[in-house]
């Protein structure tokens, strides 16, 4: 029996009393129930048949809010043919599915409406564009850390030297970012920027913050950020900054390991900042054992006030003249009390309250390399960098390796199962706010991982733009920038257009334009329609529009028959990516996908 529940309007509508849910069904059920747990006890609500769409019967009922928990869980129970079928977020079960797989809606929290509409571009500031050469770091200008690693100025585009991975500077700055907005917004189609850390630090990556109150002067200082924010607002663009609040740099005045600031927690047990960190004998707690990154102890009320209090770091940059649109929280799952992540959920919720208290429409996004379900139930993060639920499976499927570069073969069936399992564990509203990505400053570039196979890279880009979530482009991917593991993935953007991969660049622009034009790419439900040995087809759809996305990693042409009758949309006309009409009967018989290629088909209601 076919059972479908798209967890978006009009098939899921929030009301004062709960969620009005619609189940679409093909077959002859004896009884149809909506199952909920408003008080931790099973409640079965009989569903009423109310309509029919595309040959599917529509059953409707209201799942009452679970007012004891932030997230309301629900599923569907169908009695037919002397047995049962259950529909959960991961598909049909023949027995009651576990609660973690139920559909989920967060009662009191929802991601900002603007997030799902964005095309995000991630910038590592030192490597994107130099706007003011006078701001650049000079060789040996200052002492970094213990002084054993030189601070080195490098010519733009020179190869990365791993021996000075953290202390080689190429001169990119915020002035350069602002001057390239015509390219980013006008030519490429980007609508939002995510910047790696920009606050004062002696390293090029700046994950070792020395001053949360000031943008690094070599990036242009606070004035350059204010100018950039004003320019972005003038274009209707958004800005997300990197919040590194799990730890500071060892040279931060609060810690002052090197004694350059008159005495901090490291220098004296009597320091007013001593309780802000955790000391263990002669040592101290640091991020993953890196002595340059002492961990903040959120058991300290002073740390709480400094980071998420009314005058704290998070609120300050959400206010004019900057008024940034959100924060990406570095290693947010590790933040807590003492040397570990004790009381992590409590403090992440406090971070959220601070951000939303300053701007209810601000975006709260976390960094997790692993599976992040518990942070994504709506009451902590709006979304995460979707390594686990997108970047990792895509890389395993297309490159045969994991994010760390180790072998990771993945069949197409397992690829689809991985994607489905990851989506099923979070409310769909939060899935639409996940930051989809192919690579980042912490991974090798995907183009390098797939052996410079541009066709396979284009296939990955098609998935990135068509899959549920907010697509994020790592700077330079669109021009064919290559790079191995950190720090090689942080090469300079090449502004010589003669060196750009024109076909790849055109593909990015084309996909971005379609995402902006097609509402189902931004807000639509997801449904897998066909899975083959090396190819699959999925649909993104709203009530009135559909896109079929076909992807084929194989060396042979793939033709997959499509069960269009499983979609709850009555399509009046189908057309290919070239604009040519396609008959529904022809499409149902099979969608052809070229070797190593992709196919898009658009459908619209009458």
The catalytic residues are: 330, 367
Contact 370, 386 (CB under 8 A): no
Contact 444, 391 (CB under 8 A): no
DSSP string, 399-456: HSB-TTS-B----HHHHHHHHHHHHHTS-HHHHTTSEEES--TTS--HHHHTTT-HHH
Looking at the chain, how many residues does it have?
Answer: 606
Q: CA-CA distance, 7 to 13, in Å (whole number)?
A: 9
Q: CA-CA distance, 546 to 56, in Å (whole number)?
A: 17
Bridge pairing between strands 279-280 and 363-368: unpaired
Contact 21, 12 (CB under 8 A): yes
**Quick one: which H or E segment has residue 68?**
none
CA dist 77 to 61, 94, 490, Å? 12, 10, 51
Q: How many of the other CB atoms lie within 10 Å of CB of 430? A: 26
* Phi-psi sector, 233: left (phi>0), alpha (psi -120 to 50), beta: alpha
Bridge pairing between strands 2-4 and 12-14: unpaired
Contact 553, 535 (CB under 8 A): yes
Residue 172 φ then ψ, to 5°: -65, 150
Contact 196, 205 (CB under 8 A): yes
Q: How many of the other CB atoms lie within 10 Å of CB of 69? A: 16
Q: DSSP secondary-structure letter at 342? A: B
CA dist 371 to 244, 290, 366, 384, 392, Å? 20, 24, 12, 10, 10
Bridge pairing between strands 581-582 and 545-552: unpaired
Contact 296, 338 (CB under 8 A): no
CB neighbour list of residue 98: distance below 8 Å, 6 or more residues apart: none
The residue among 281, 323, 285 whose CA lies nearest residue 303 is 285
| CA within 13 Å, CB half, 216 | 28
The residue among 275, 251, 277 whose CA lies nearest residue 262 is 251
519-540: b (≥16 Cβ within 10 Å) or e: bbbbbbbbbebbbbebbbbbbb
The residue among 110, 153, 100 whose CA lies nearest residue 130 is 153
Contact 390, 421 (CB under 8 A): no
Q: DSSP secondary-structure letter at 188? A: I
Question: CA angle 154-160-166, nearest 5°?
Answer: 80
């Amino acid at each position: 029996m076919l059972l479908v529940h798209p967890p978006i309007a009009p098939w899921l509508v929030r009301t004062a009393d709960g969620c009005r849910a619609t189940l679409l069904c093909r077959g002859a059920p004896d009884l149809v129930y909506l199952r909920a747990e408003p008080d931790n006890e099973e409640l079965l609500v009989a569903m009423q048949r109310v309509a029919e769409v595309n040959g599917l019967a529509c059953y409707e009922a209201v799942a009452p809010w679970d007012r004891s928990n932030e997230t309301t869980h629900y599923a569907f129970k169908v009695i037919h043919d002397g047995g049962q079928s259950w529909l959960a977020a991961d598909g049909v079960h023949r027995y009651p599915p576990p609660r973690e797989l139920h559909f989920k809606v967060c009662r009191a929290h929802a991601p900002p409406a603007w997030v799902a509409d964005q095309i995000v571009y991630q910038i590592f500031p030192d490597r994107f564009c130099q706007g003011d050469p006078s701001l650049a770091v000079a060789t040996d200008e200052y002492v970094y850390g213990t002084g054993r690693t030189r601070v080195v100025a490098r010519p733009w585009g020179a190869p990365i030297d791993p021996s000075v991975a953290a202390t080689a500077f190429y001169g990119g700055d915020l002035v350069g970012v602002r001057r390239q907005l015509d390219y980013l917004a006008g030519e490429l189609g980007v609508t939002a920027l995510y910047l790696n850390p920009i606050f004062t630090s002696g390293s090029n990556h700046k994950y070792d913050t020395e001053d949360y109150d000031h943008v690094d002067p070599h990036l242009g200082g606070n004035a350059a950020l204010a100018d950039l924010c004003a320019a972005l607002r003038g274009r209707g663009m958004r800005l997300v900054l990197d919040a590194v609040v799990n730890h500071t740099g060892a040279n931060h005045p609060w810690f002052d390991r090197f004694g350059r600031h008159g005495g901090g927690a490291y220098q004296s047990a009597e320091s007013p900042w001593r309780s802000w960190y955790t000391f263990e004998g002669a040592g101290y707690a640091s991020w993953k054992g890196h002595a340059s990154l002492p961990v903040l102890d959120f058991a300290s009320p002073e740390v709480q006030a400094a980071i998420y209090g009314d005058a704290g770091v998070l609120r300050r940059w959400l206010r004019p003249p900057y008024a940034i649109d959100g924060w990406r929280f570095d290693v947010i799952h590790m933040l807590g009390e003492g040397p570990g992540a004790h009381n992590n959920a409590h403090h992440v919720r406090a971070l959220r309250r601070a951000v939303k208290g300053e701007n209810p429409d601000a975006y709260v996004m976390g960094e997790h390399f692993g599976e992040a379900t518990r942070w994504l139930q709506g009451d902590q993060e709006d979304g995460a960098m979707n390594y686990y639920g997108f970047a990792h499976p895509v890389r395993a499927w297309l490159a045969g390796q994991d994010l760390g570069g180790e072998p990771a073969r993945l069949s197409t069936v397992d690829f689809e199962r991985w994607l489905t399992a990851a989506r099923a564990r979070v409310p769909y509203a939060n899935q639409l706010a996940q930051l989809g990505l192919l690579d980042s400053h912490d991974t090798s570039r995907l183009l390098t991982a797939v052996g410079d196979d541009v066709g396979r890279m284009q296939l990955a880009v098609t998935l990135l733009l068509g899959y549920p979530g907010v697509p994020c482009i790592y700077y330079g991917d669109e021009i064919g920038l290559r790079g191995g593991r950190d720090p090689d993935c942080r090469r300079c953007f090449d502004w010589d257009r003669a060196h750009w991969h024109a076909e790849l660049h055109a593909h990015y622009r084309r996909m971005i334009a379609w995402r902006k034009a097609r509402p189902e790419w931004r807000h639509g439900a997801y449904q897998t329609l066909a899975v083959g040995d090396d190819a699959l087809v999925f649909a993104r759809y709203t009530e009135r529009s559909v896109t079929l996305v076909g992807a084929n990693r194989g060396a042979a042409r793939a033709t997959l028959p499509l069960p269009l009758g499983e979609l709850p949309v009555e399509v009046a006309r189908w057309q290919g990516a070239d604009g040519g009409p396609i008959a529904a009967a022809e499409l149902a018989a099979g969608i052809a996908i070229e070797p190593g290629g992709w196919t898009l088909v658009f459908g619209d209601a009458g």
